[in-house]
Structure 1
Amino acid sequence: METLKQEIKDLSQGNKDQVAEIIHSLKSVRLAKGDFLLKAGQICRQYFFIDSGSIRLYYLKGSNDYTVWIGTAGQIFTDLESYLGQTESRLNFEAIENATVYTISKTNSDKLALKNNAYNTLLRRTVEIAFVNLSRNVISFQSEEASERYKRIEKEKNWIAQYPLKYISSFIGVTQSSLSRLRAKKD
């Protein structure tokens, strides 16, 4: 849990007691590959803190699934639309390898936010990071070629060797065969 503790400390900018209170408020969930934290149609009532493993967020359209994000150790996330509006999620949160995730319910999160300023900072910074990533992805899809998006993923993330190409191809908005051609051109 050291990576996650450090991320909580860095994002919250809290003192030792504040960080300890945040950590103490979390509940551990162990997931096997293929287990779901959330399925489309459910209401997201938790924030998630990844301690180990990877979680893929994706949606279904027809018989195809589209990867929105892959979270790894130390990352904090939720489905903001569902969590804030308490509406049905359009996303699935699936463990793509064995994972340990810590959670905090919306009720407990709201209570903690009232008494722990560092937790408020953590939540704010998590939303800021999500917004920046969303903005980057929108601009990327509007202004970059698929080859540029692939190069950016290859440079910024450790996904290429770690995850199936079908997840990478859907994340950058191309078919698997198009991704294979991009990879062949690069080599």
Structure 2
Amino acid sequence: MADKGLLLVLSGPSGVGKGTVKSAIVKNKVFPFEYSVSMTTRKPRPGEVNGKDYFFVSEERFKQAINHGELLEYNRYVDHYYGTPLTPVKKMLEQGKDVLLEIDVNGAQKVREQMPDGVFIFLTPPDLHTLHERLENRGTESEDIIMGRIKQAREEILVMQDYDYAVVNDEVANAVHHIKAIVDAEHVSVKRVIDTYRKMVRED
């Protein structure tokens, strides 16, 4: 039976570049992982594909998933629901595959409650001015919504203390390099490999 995979949780304030960093990891094949596709009630942005970027569903379907215990975590953010389907994540981990969740701060907190052995990585902007520029450059939200996200980011950055690692997204390549180092280190950490060696000793 394969060793259990790592649950990698990449989180941080809105606009910090979680999606961009994840895409760079995928494009450059930095390390192998399965990506957990989130469910949301918001409309697709230009270029987003249903089932690949998100599962885009109605609010009625999302609430049904909540009531049936189908979600690892979920949250309502700026008038829309976001959540992580539970069954695919558990199945991939049991198959020995690493799973990457790209979720917001509230979602990460809920995941830690259910799966505390995950690897929690907080992606932070170099500063709030840079974060504001990135949100503006997306061109998808009004200034009022952007300012609301900045205000929330101030609060979310302080939650970093509940994470295992902090990675500054100054340059995407730098952030990817640090995340790769974290994954490599976690795969050889004693807490994750000790059971394999205990089994080896018992069988010798």
- TM over 0.5, shorter chain: no
TM-score after normalising by structure 1: 0.28
Higher relative contact order at CA 8 Å, sep ≥6: structure 1 or structure 2?
Answer: 2
TM-score after normalising by structure 2: 0.27
